[in-house]
Amino acid sequence: MPRTLFGRLLLHSVAVLAVFLAVAGMAGSRFVDRWETERVGRDLEGVAWAAAPRLVELAGGALQAEVRRLAERTGLRVTVIRADGVVLADSHRDPATMENHAGRPEVREALAGRVGHAVRRSASIGEPLVYVAVPATPVVRVARSLASVAALQRELRKRLGIAAILGFGVAFGLAAVFSRNTARRLRRMTEFATRAGAGDLEAPLAVGGADELADLERALGGLRDALREELRLLRAERARLHSLLDHLPDGILVLGRDGRIRMANPAARRILRLGHPAEDRTGAEALRHPDLLAALARCQADPAHPPDPVAVTWPDPPCRLLARFVPHPDEEGGAGVLVVLRDVTRQHELERMRRDFVANLAHELRTPLTAIRGAAETLPEALDEDPGAAARFLESIRRNARRLEALLQDVAELARIEAGAAPLRPERVDARAPVRTVVEMFSAEAERAGVDLAAEVPPDPVEASIDPEKLESILINLVQNAVRYTPAGGRARVRLEARDDRLVYRVEDTGIGIPPSEIPRVTERFYRVDPGRSRATGGTGLGLAIVKHLTELMGGALRIEPLHPQGTRVTVTVPRDAAAPAAP
């Protein structure tokens, strides 16, 4: 059996052609035999009818002589048979020696009044003959040997054989051309399908003709176009997914059922300190923390009941992580796990600050309220017994009431700023004005405290588009701290430096200073470096928090740094044009 498609097609075509020619040859041979036999029968019938009128008038030797002359002239065998089957004359034998012919089929037909036909081997002469008997009285029968018919058939078969060979050759050539063309088109479609399966969807595929193969070619072309469009959509979707995962702040870790990492986005690699690629590691190697490993094991053991989110403190880089474990089928249909890691350090810190704020606010309110309550309860007795003590109690009530008022004002202002209820209202003003206003505002307090307070500003006007009210609030809080935390004999300076696109305000003092380790937290609400001293000076603990939020609202930057040997410098940089961001 040939192994190539062309060979199989050609073999099948040749086999079909051979069977067809064999069947056609056999059918043709039978048709020729029947046709030739019928033709001979018609000729014999004509001879018999032509000879019958003369033969029925003769008898005896004259009849036998006439029969022989007729046979010599026509080449046929002629027999005259009486109604009882006795042979009266025969051209090839002595009638006296011949058996009764009443039982011959053609004779029975003639005696019945019909022309009788028969083909059989003659018992008298031992040859196959065609017999025709006509219903005359007596019956006239003529016969002809089939030897001539056989010779004709042999010649016809010879010619049919030659024609069959020629036809077979032509058909073989046509079958070869058809098979080769069909095999070539099928091979072309196979190559196209192979290339398409390998991802080459730009491979050309010619469509020829209007047959079934052309329909298949068109169908393959349509399938190629549909696959190309589907692949384009899949690639676009994959690109969008990769872009989303690459820019997602949450870490995404996909684990297979074997526990190995199938995918890790940049955030997960950054949080877990994974190398690139991370796919050569296991989930246990990446997660490391005992609580995370326990949650992972529970999710793998019981995917129908995933564990609750797990919050852990991650050591490197230091952060607070919230991890979710979600069952996820892998590419083989197994029970994989999707791990979502969210850095909640900021939220955790904000929650801590909120708790601290509530606790500190309660504490800050409790202290003056306790003092006011105590003074108020003692005041009635003091009014009668010690008027001087009563005056001190009244002063204590006034002082703590002012402290409460200042605290509530600062809390309200901070809340307004954070809620966005304090929008910027820029004006075209001289940027030196807020410095001079604030220094003048605190000059008397600084003089009483023995602090040298002064403003250092450029000699010429500094035109700027700023919100003077908010800038004054910033400077009020900074100068107030500088005066309160600078001991007698110290100094405080408020400076302005004008640059092309920004304004730099600096408040420097020679006070108690801020330890470098405390600087990151001093802008938190109610945070105090020295709580006892801060309360003694009347501070609310909200000043630097207000400064920070107002500076950010103005698009500026805040910097706090210690001075050597003591003191603090606070730098506030804001845009000279309120619509432009400040440079650091």
The domain spanning residue 24 has which CATH number? 3.30.450.20
Helix/strand/coil percentages in the chain, nearest 5: 55, 20, 25
165-195 pLDDT per residue, tens: 887 777 777 777 777 777 777 777 777 777 7
Distance CA 239, CA 234 (A): 8
103/133 same-domain check: yes
Amino acid 533: pLDDT: 45
Assigned domain for 584 exists:
no
Residue 297 CA neighbour count, 13 Å, CB half: 8
- The CATH number of whichever domain residue 373 belongs to comes to 1.10.287.130
Amino acid 361: pLDDT: 67
555/506 same-domain check: yes
Distance CA 184, CA 518 (A): 84
Give the count of beta carbons closer than 10 Å to the beta carbon of residue 62. 12
Assigned domain for 311 exists:
yes
285/400 same-domain check: no
Assigned domain for 168 exists:
no
331/462 same-domain check: no
| 191 and 63 Cβ atoms separated by less than 8 Å | no
Task: Mark which of 389, 418, 447 sits at the end of a domain.
Answer: 418
CA distances to 5, 154, 161, 207, 558 from 158, in Å: 35, 6, 5, 45, 117
543/409 same-domain check: no
Q: What is the block-wise mean pLDDT of the chain (584 residues), using blocks of 10 residues? A: 59 71 71 74 85 86 89 88 90 87 88 88 74 90 78 74 78 74 76 74 69 75 79 86 85 87 86 76 85 89 88 84 87 79 84 73 72 78 73 79 74 73 85 93 92 94 91 91 92 92 94 86 71 50 83 91 90 83 45
Range of the domain at 392: 348-418
How many independent structural domains does the chain possess? 5
29/119 same-domain check: yes
Task: Mark which of 372, 401, 418 sits at the end of a domain.
Answer: 418
571/438 same-domain check: yes
375/256 same-domain check: no
CA distances to 122, 502, 504 from 461, in Å: 152, 15, 15
Task: Mark which of 285, 306, 337 sits at the end of a domain.
Answer: 337
Amino acid 581: pLDDT: 46
| 415 and 382 Cβ atoms separated by less than 8 Å | no
